[in-house]
Amino acid sequence: MYESKAGDRLAAIVLAALAVLVLLPIWWMFRSSLMTNAELFAYPPPFAPAVWRFGNYPATIVNFPFWVYLRNTMTIIVPSVIGGTLTATLAGYAFARLRFPGKDILFILCVGSMLLPTMVTLIPLYIAWSRGLHLQDTYWPLILPYFCGGGAFNIFLIRQFIKTIPHELDEAAKIDGAGPLRILASIIVPSVKSAMIVVALLLFIGMWNDLLQQMIYINSSKYFTIALGISQLKGTLQVDWSKIMCATCMSFVPGVVFYLIGQKYFVEGIVMTGMKA
Amino acid sequence: MPIKGKRQEITAAYLCLIPSIIGLVFITYLPLLSVFSLSFFNWGSGAPNPKFIGLSNYARLFTTDPYFLDSLRVTLVFAVLTVLGSMIYSLFIAMLLNRKIPGRGFLRAVFYLPYVLPAMAVYIGWSWLYEANFGLFNYLLGLIGVDKLKFIADGKLVVPSLALIAVWLSGNLIVIFLAGLQNVPRVYHEAALIDGANSFQRFRHVTIPCMTPIIFYNLLMALINNMQIVTPALALTNGGPGNASRFITYLMYQSAFISNHLGYGSAVSTVFFVIIAIFTAILFVTSRNWIFYEGEER
């Protein structure tokens, strides 16, 4: 590389120090989840628990039915992630490879929607879903929109990625008599797998964090997701901080697991899209 | 044969785009038009059927609404702090991560980690760190002799405290910056080295110009996302203390979904949309002066 050795060493030290700072809040939440409330309110606060009370976790599940919430969350997320990734791939393919009338205007409308804050359309969508289609207190208003393209950024990402695949492969398939959809299935999809994983991860995180819409559409506590469950904690557990921290740490796990599975594709996927311009 | 191929291509294209077109029409642009029209109606509690009231909602919003101007100010302060903070933080981290250092993959994962955690759980978790008497931050501040702060319980500190969490959460910007840095052509750096440029000069005259399109993209997206901040108000502060964290999205949520004034909430949404549109336009217009596109004369 063109950077100096000494500079690299300094960078490594600074990064390691910053990494400790970034991880400190997570460690503090985890360590708090393993302590009794009496220990939590001691001064000075110990850095690590004297006894690792993993029993706090089953005790928390009494107030915070984690497995129910997780199942509900997955009921929304799994179909949405699949639907969003598939429809974004279809649209990205059309924009990257196919010629058709109206392409430019559609592409502008699509990219333009990236600039539109989602909260602006919330009220009309709520009226349509809950008063027009009577789907209040179901998961449909949260799932179905993801089957409609999966978001402009994701379409754009897939399109950029497909543009990096050499045309020769398509041409060869075309000569063999393959139609556009056949080319998509047999050539494009296998080569854009890492971009699709990036899109799936982004959709996953987006849904996971979308507390506002879940609050609006879900009323019954039996349908509560992890996000909704967490948002009720302060009301039910008040200052029982050790249980609140148990619930917080439990809700961290699914995202981290999904990220660790997808992470090796992550930067590579975004680099490949030629985000330079 | 070519004609048939062409028709086949067009059919395939529209087939692929059906879901997205449905989405663009019914989930994006039609609701956008509806929110404008709804803002001229009184609809909801006290008015079971929509009733046209002209500009009354807007008049009320700008004159008698006790929260609106505060919420606008709070939202802007939060957005400015968060956008500046997260842009500087993530560009800095990305530049360091772009070097040849041991454990790079692991470090990258560490800085990205906060982004994959569910935001409301993060805010709840941090509220314990911010706790006034037993929290981590006051303990650390006590070690260096600073008096106890109330952080999210203090009207003056709540927005900066939430902004710090948002910066901590901004790992997605790091990934995009990192991707951009890896796409900066090596030859530019090599040419600058031959000309005897030191590392600061190369940062200033090679890295930054090549990165301007990405900086622009991140700036735009960070602005739009952070202006829409609502999760901490929903999960943690309920807009308080006082009105200190009554963000504009939260105000919209309260008017439309708690007080059930759908028309009034639509007026809040419309004003918010116009503000974002103005900011976006300013960014686009000024960007012509500072964005550098490869192979283009300035």
pLDDT digits (tens, 9 = 90+) for B84-138: 999 999 999 999 998 888 888 888 889 988 988 988 889 988 988 898 888 888 8
Q: Is the pLDDT of residue A29 over 80?
A: yes
| pLDDT band for position A267 (cuts 50, 70, 90) | low
Q: Looking at the predicted structure, is the pLDDT value of residue B253 above 80?
A: yes
Tell whether ipTM is more than 0.85: yes
pLDDT for position B297: 44
Interface of B with A in 8-27 (CB under 8 A): 8-10, 12-17, 19-24, 26-27
Q: How many other C-beta atoms lie within 10 A of the C-beta of residue B6?
A: 12
Q: Which amino acid is at B200?
A: F
Give me the helices (H) in chain B, please: 2-22, 30-38, 56-63, 68-97, 104-116, 119-129, 136-143, 158-168, 171-182, 186-194, 199-202, 208-227, 231-232, 248-253, 262-290
- Does A226 lie at the interface with B, CB-CB under 8 angstroms? yes
In percent, the amount of chain A with pLDDT more than 90 equals: 43
Q: Is the pLDDT of residue A45 over 90?
A: no
Q: Which of A13, A15, A164 is the best residue to mutate to test the B interface, defined by the most B CB atoms within 10 Å of its own CB?
A: A15
What pTM was estimated for this model as a whole? 0.89
Checking if the pLDDT of A161 tops 60, the result is: yes
Query: Is some CB atom of chain B closer than 8 A to the CB atom of A261?
Result: no
Which residue did the predictor score with more confidence, A194 or A15?
Answer: A15
Whether the predicted pLDDT of A1 surpasses 50: no
Q: Which long-range contacts (CB under 8 A, 24 or more apart) does B21-28 make?
A: B21/A106, B22/A148, B23/A87, B23/A145, B23/A148, B23/A149, B24/A106, B24/A109, B24/A110, B24/A113, B24/A148, B24/A149, B26/A148, B27/A121, B27/A125, B27/A145, B27/A148, B28/A113, B28/A116, B28/A121
Best probe of the A interface among B28, B169, B202, B259, by most A CBs < 10 A, is: B28
CA angle B237, A142, B25 (to 5 degrees): 115
User: A141 preceded by cis ω (within 30°)?
Assistant: no
pLDDT at residue B45 above 80? no
Q: Which of the four pLDDT bands, split at 50, 70 and 90, describes residue A270?
A: low
In this predicted structure, the answer to whether residue A140 has a pLDDT above a threshold of 90 is yes
CATH code for B56-290? 1.10.3720.10
Chain B 111-150, residues with CB within 8 Å of chain A CB atoms: 111-121, 124-129, 131, 133-134, 136, 139
Facing residue for A211 by CB, picked from B13, B96, B231: B231
CA separation for the pair A118, A116 (Å, rounded): 6
**Distance between CA atoms of residues B88 and B99, nearest Å:** 18
Mean pLDDT, range B246-270, rounded to an integer: 92
Q: Which of residues 153-192 of B touch A (CB under 8 A)?
A: 168, 175-176, 178-180, 182-184, 186, 189-190
Question: For position B165, what pLDDT does the model report?
Answer: 93
Directed axis angle between helix A66-97 and helix A103-112, to 10°?
A: 150
Judged by CB atoms closer than 8 Å, whether chains meet at A22 and B110 is answered as: yes
Q: Which B residues 218-277 touch A at CB under 8 Å?
A: 220-221, 224, 227-228, 230-231, 234-236, 249, 252-253, 256-257, 262, 265-266, 269-270, 272-273, 276-277
For residue B28, pLDDT beyond 80: yes
CB contact under 8 Å between B124 and A248, yes or no, is yes
Round the average pLDDT of chain A to a whole number and report it. Answer: 87
**A66 in reach of chain B (CB within 8 A):** no
Q: Of A250-259, B87-96, B135-144, which one has max mean pLDDT?
A: B87-96
Would you place residue B73 in the very low, low, confident or very high pLDDT band (cuts 50, 70, 90)? very high
At B16, the pLDDT band (50, 70, 90 cuts) reads very high
Which residues are paired to B261 by β-bridges?
A: B44
> What average pLDDT does this structure show over A195-220?
89
Chain B neighbors of A206, CB-CB under 8 A: none
Using alpha carbons only, give the angle B43, A121, B19 rounded to the nearest 5 degrees: 130
Residue B295 has what pLDDT?
A: 54
Task: Of B289, B290, B86, B236, give the one whose Cα is nearest residue B169.
Answer: B86
Comparing alpha-carbon positions, the chain A residue that sits nearest to B167 is A22
Q: Do B179 and A103 touch (CB under 8 A)?
A: no
- pLDDT of B6 strictly over 60: yes
Rounded mean pLDDT of B64-77?
A: 91
Q: How large a percentage of chain B has pLDDT more than 70? A: 97
Please tell me the predicted confidence (pLDDT) of residue B102.
Answer: 85
CB contact under 8 A, A275 and B31: no
What is the predicted pLDDT for the residue at A74?
94
Decide if B112 and A252 are in contact by the 8 Å CB cutoff.
Answer: no
Task: Write the CB contacts of A23 (distance below 8 Å, at least 6 apart in sequence).
Answer: B110, B113
CATH code, residues A57-272: 1.10.3720.10
Please check whether residue A57 touches B, CB under 8 A: no
Q: Are A106 and B17 in contact (CB < 8 Å)? A: yes
pLDDT at B298: 40
Nearest to A117 among B19, B134, B227 (CB): B227
What's the first-to-final CA gap in chain A, in angstroms? 23
Q: Is residue B197 predicted with pLDDT exceeding 90?
A: no
pLDDT computed for residue B190 by the predictor: 85
Q: How close, in Å, is residue A32 to chain B by CA atoms?
A: 9
Domain coordinates of chain A in residue numbers? 57-272
Lowest mean pLDDT among A44-48, A210-214, A272-276, B113-117: A272-276
**What is the pLDDT, as a whole number, of residue B58?**
93
- Chain B residues with CB-CB distance to A18 below 8 A: 93, 111
Chain A: residue whose CA lies nearest to B211: A276
What's the confidence (pLDDT) of residue A268? 67
Whether chain B has a CB inside 8 Å of the CB on A209: the answer is: yes
